[in-house]
Amino acid sequence: MAVFLGIDVGTSGTKTLAMRENGTLLASATAEYPLSSPKPGWSEQNPEDWWKATVETVKKVMKAGKIKPEDIAGIGLSGQMHGSVFLDKAGNVLRPAILWNDQRTAAECADIEKKAGGRDKLIGMVANPALTGFTAPKILWLRKNEPKFYDKTTQILLPKDYVRFRLTGEFATEVSDASGTLLLDVKNRQWCKPLLDKLDISPSLLPKVYESEEVSGKLNAASAKLLDLKAGTPVVGGGGDQAAGAVGNGIVKRGVISATMGTSGVVFAHSDELQIDPQGRVHTFCHAVRDKWHVMGVVLSAGGSLQWYRNQLGQNEIAAAKKIKTDPYNLMTEQASEAPPGCEGLFFLPYLSGERTPHADPNARGAWIGLSLRHGSAHLIRSVMEGASYAMRDCLEIVNDMKIPIREIRLSGGGARSEFWRQMQSDLYGRRVVTTNAEEGPAYGAALLAAAGTGAYKGVVEACTATIKNVTSTDPQAEAKRIYTKCYPMFGRLYKSLKNDFAELQRLIAECE
């Protein structure tokens, strides 16, 4: 039976897995790498780290799964979206990649909207407003602030597409990831020449666009030798991490929604036609399913807020967990369960990296509001988890406003592995939530795309139907649902009350630098 590799170039590390044609997982491996923040609000990585991690994990998977090179029938790619890799004419990286959570480009976003003729016209061209995380403003930032690098740039690639270049020598991307550059005509699934002209960005800087399951290149001899694979192995388009993760979770039909609580939080809805929020609160991108689209709300620091708490305030839990050989998150969750729903009036705003949906505000910041002498660590931890879940509900409410049916919510990410957090999400969303047998995320979706694109299945939907099944379901508890229904409007009002103060705070920080 044929075997397919899925490679996911994530923010904290690269994960590779091997999957049989029937969806059975053979082996997986992850290699981590650092992220740098040379200035406040900046976020960068070295693309060479992605490549080294790819080589390391592919070799580990092949060995662990006892897989022969000739068994690999296809390779799928996924990765963090929106990042910018700038290459010179020799294919060398000119500077560290600027990542999806980088916030330096507020001025460039304003410039893009102005040059496009206004926010509404920009949304009309590329289905989305200009946000600091997207690729296009990063390109303008480089041109303005580092012209010596921009002048040498001959190709701009997204993170997974840089790994594709190293694998195949091809400059290529695919529709789901390209949608997040702000330079794709999402309706027609091709680069938006009118906007490129307005921004004075040459189309030659951008790679060829494929559908996600389409073969985009073949493994070249040098990379095949390095990876102990067979030269000529097909590499399909793949998908941005959220689209690939949706494929890996079976979000390929109308009415099935995913809520992924990872470092960032994502609410993802499949759409058979192009649907755009006129206010631009959610993204409308091409799906990794051919000729389909998706609507996506993004919370920048969802599980990342709990990770921040663990790293900065959870030293006792880390030490205790080490002694009994468990995960610190297990101890933190146990504590959180001791506090009641609503945390007795304590709210946490999870805007540690600014926020995307629904506020599109890079100046937003995290905050505890309502602290009193009654509150202890249990309340603090639970409020962080509730804050991330409230922010995810913000995304769900917009999907509902757009008349996109929500018949089923599939949970994934760290927030799905915790029974306590699954119940909290069900209570706070006020809906039944389910999990599936596919827990490997974007890497699994990338492998399914490879299987669909190389003939193992007739298409992506067939691949998902054959391999992905629901395994758990959680219904809301009446009393907790009642409390969260009363508390949720307050969560939204708190941001509105602080919005101007967040902007003033950023001006104050700039003046003090």
Catalytic residues: 241
- The residue with tokens 């020449």 is 193
Q: Rounded CA gap, 378 and 299, in Å? A: 23
The string of pLDDT tens digits covering residues 120-175 is: 999 999 999 999 989 999 999 999 999 999 999 999 999 999 999 999 999 999 99
User: Is 481's pLDDT higher than 80?
Assistant: yes
* Beta strands, E only, 253-315: 256-261, 265-271, 283-286, 293-299
Domain 3-250 identical in fold to domain 303-435+477-512: yes
pTM, rounded to two decimals:
0.88
Q: Rounded CA gap, 366 and 348, in Å? A: 7
Confidence (pLDDT) at 301: 94
Confidence (pLDDT) at 57: 98
Q: Rounded CA gap, 250 and 243, in Å? A: 10
Range of weakest confidence among 38-42, 75-79, 118-122: 38-42
- The residue with tokens 């997040």 is 180
* Helix extents (H) in 89-134: 106-116, 119-126
Query: For residue 401, what pLDDT band results from cuts at 50, 70 and 90?
Result: very high
**Nearest alpha carbon to residue 79 among 242, 271, 268:** 242
Give me the sign of the Cα torsion angle 176, 182, 187, 193: negative
**Nearest alpha carbon to residue 244 among 41, 432, 448:** 448
**Nearest alpha carbon to residue 182 among 141, 135, 140:** 135
Confidence (pLDDT) at 47: 98
Average pLDDT score, the chain: 96
The string of pLDDT tens digits covering residues 244-263 is: 999 999 999 999 999 999 88
CB atoms within 10 A of CB 144: 13
* Tokens found for residue 393: 């509900």
DSSP for 402-429 reads TT---SEEEEEEHHHH-HHHHHHHHHHH
Residues linked to residue 98 through DSSP beta bridges, in sequence order: 44, 84
Confidence (pLDDT) at 279: 87
What type of residue sits at position 500?
N
DSSP state letter for 206:
S
**Nearest alpha carbon to residue 280 among 103, 119, 138:** 119
Domain 3-250 has CATH 3.30.565.10: no
Q: What is the CA radius of gyration of the chain?
A: 22
DSSP state letter for 4:
E
Q: Are 443 and 16 in contact (CB under 8 A)?
A: yes
Kindly list the domain boundaries of the chain, sorted by start residue: 3-250, 303-435+477-512
Fold of 303-435+477-512: Nucleotidyltransferase; domain 5 (3.30.420)
User: Is 35's pLDDT higher than 80?
Assistant: yes
Q: What is the dihedral angle through the alpha carbons of 485, 490, 493, 497, rounded to the nearest 10 degrees? A: -170
Q: Rounded CA gap, 503 and 363, in Å? A: 6
User: Is 441's pLDDT higher than 80?
Assistant: yes
Q: Rounded CA gap, 386 and 402, in Å? A: 24
